[in-house]
Amino acid sequence: MSMVIPQFVLLLSISRKYSINPTSTRNIDNSNDTSHGGSYVGVEQMGFLWSMTQVPGQRKGLRLSKKDVTKPYSIQLNCFDGHLSPEDGFVNSLAKNSLQPIVSSELEKMYMAEGVRRIPVREGRVRGTLFLPPGNGPFPGVIDMFGTAGGLIEFKASLLASHGFAVLALAYFAYDDLPKYLPFCELEYFEEAADWLVKHPAVVHHGIGVMGVSKGGEIALMMAAHRADIVKAIVPISTCLVINASAFKAQVTLLNLHMPHTVSHLITKVLRKLNKGSFFPGKALVTDVYLEYQDLRRVHTQPGKETENRASKTLRGLGEMLVTLGSEKVDIKENENESVTRLVAWLSSSNMADITSADSFVSTKVTKHCETERPEKKSKVRKKRKTPKKPVVEINSRKDRRIINEFHALNKKIDSLRRNTLIQIKDRPTQIAALEAKKEKLGGINAYQKASKLGEARHGSFNSAKWILKQMRDLDVCKVKPDPTEATEGLRLLDVGALDNNYKKHQKWIQCTPIDLNPQSDVVVKADFLKFKGNNLYDVVVLSLVINFEGDVHRRGKMLRKCQELIVDQGYLFIVLPLPCLNNSRYLNDDLFVSMMESLGFKVCACHKSRKLSFYMFRKTGHAQVKSFPKRVLRKGGNHNNFAIVL
């Protein structure tokens, strides 16, 4: 006779078809009985567990992930007469309520063996959970990490601890007081976690292992390269070879362009044209990427610094790096696609997970040229005299700061008077006129704009337009045409509160529309942003030091909603605010600001904090769930400012 066992675990189901010896007592032995159909075929003792699939009709892509490892899974086994498909056994039977099992059994699958200890960890900056086996140890130590899903995932750590390992399930963002999102991975954080675990009294002190999935696997490779004295074994699972979702940061140096990122651009160069659905959408040319390989542990790019002959330098650096990666020498000649093709083939056949290779890649100082590259003859060149730069005319730092602060305060008082219904209507114009006169005494809007321009240049010596251009280049923000031979239309960019056209040098790929209430240049269009109606939607909108100029908290929220109206789906929004608006406001911080933008359908792409400014780059995802964000106190005390945004 044939029998089928469908299995239902939470929202999962499996089925299999067994042949049973008719002389037996009808007991099914998974270690001997053969499955002839269903989720697996053959003799598999644990097949009824590992072959579980989703219930028919569920959203595809769901994964079984245990949230609370202290509680077991309850698994029910049902035996039916005849062979049933998952649709018949689950969907149709529930609809008709007619399917009854011959016999049922229930078992529990534990994630923590008896005696395993679960200890929450808050040591320094380290956040996670330590799982220790029964006994005093010492036990072999392991750090377990997952990828860009974020949070703290413990099921793998608890299972390893049940088999004798001391395991730290390590969170690195979107958990407890850690950053909500991941602009970069700070290597010192993982180094601190490794130092803490290897010094734990219950852990073997001569070294630990690191296991990671996806981004966690990439971090495991970097840890092995930087701290080979502690990390003695790694298990990188499904790690990143081409796409680098977030950069690495070591000792305040951003390692944002390392080997996988560069190789992806080289592959794009070989392809010569855009490949729809590939890893590299957009105008990703190798000339947009450069690396400085003088010290691979300190790959560093300075904002606004241009490097000569970027493509040549990248190829040369890769040639030097290949010498340290393995014994095979690859001849890298500049501007030859054949050499790049050979490089890609070499990388595909190489074992990138090898610790020795990773150590050579990241920690070795590469100063010699590739052996196959001929040394260049040094020729005496007369040094050109540097022409002295024209002195920058500035007004006094304290004076322009006073103008900006007083102008904001007067705007706030004027908006408050206009909203205040308790003041008699006849007295209101007089009071407003008095405040407007004070603004004119300061020099009016012209003095404010001049002070703002100098103030922005002085805020950490950072120009917002330069940062915005860098982000657009790094993320390949451009229009993609189905036909690569067709002329590409420039990005439509709306620069709000512009003093000039900051993007006129980039007219080949950016069509900028600068607007302002009081234009200081002929190229700037006079317009009120909240009443502005463009002919088309914009790919990029820039609000640089604009929201903080508006004194009304409600109108600030309307500005954000206006951006949602003007930006196309998958378009970008750049917002620049004074640092105290987020770092020292009584009513607003980074988390609340990001939550506001997410409710409007914007997702954070990049964030930067200079000495006095906060820079944010958002992308419109189109999934807006507008919520109400009233004004509420987040920071108590008398040393905070009152900047707020109300949605």
CB-based contacts of 435, cutoff 8 Å, min separation 6: 410, 413, 414, 417
How many CB atoms are closer than 10 A to CB 96? Answer: 9
* 194 CA to centre of own chain: 23
Give the E-state strand segments of 252-343 in sequence order. 253-255
CA distance 127 to 389: 50
Nearest to 255 by CA among 279, 275, 226: 226
Strand segments (E) across 355-507: 491-496
Residue written as token pair 């005319």: 393
Cα distance between residue 366 and residue 343, in whole Å: 19
The Cα angle at residue 349 between residues 345 and 353, in degrees rounded to 5: 125
- Answer for the pair 218, 224: CB distance below 8 angstroms, yes or no: no
CA distance 408 to 550: 8
Q: Pseudo-torsion of CA 55, 59, 63, 68, nearest 10°? A: -90
CA dist 528 and 412 (Å) reads 18
Bridge partners (DSSP) of residue 130 are 119, 168
Show binding-site residues for S-adenosyl-L-methionine: 497, 516
Q: Nearest to residue 585, comparing CAs of 630, 631, 544, 644?
A: 644
Give the annotated binding-site residues: 497, 516
> What's the residue count for the chain?
647
What is residue 516's three-state secondary structure? strand
Concatenated DSSP letters of 22-57: TTS-S---TTTSPEEEES--B--TTHHHHT-EEPTT
End-to-end CA distance of the chain: give it in Å, rounded: 67
Q: Which tokens in the block code for residue 215? A: 């981004």
Q: Which residue has the tokens 């949605």?
A: 647
Instruction: Tell me the one-letter amino acid at 382.
Output: R
DSSP 376-419: PPP---PPPPPPPPPPPP---HHHHHHHHHHHHHHHHHHHHHHH
CB atoms near residue 209 (< 10 Å):
19
The strand ranges marked E within 446-536 are 491-496, 510-516, 525-526
Beta strand pairing call for 16-19 and 73-81: unpaired
As a whole number of angstroms, the distance between CA 580 and CA 609 comes to 11
Tally of CB atoms within 10 A around 113: 14
Region of residue 272 (left: phi > 0; alpha: psi -120 to 50; beta: else): left
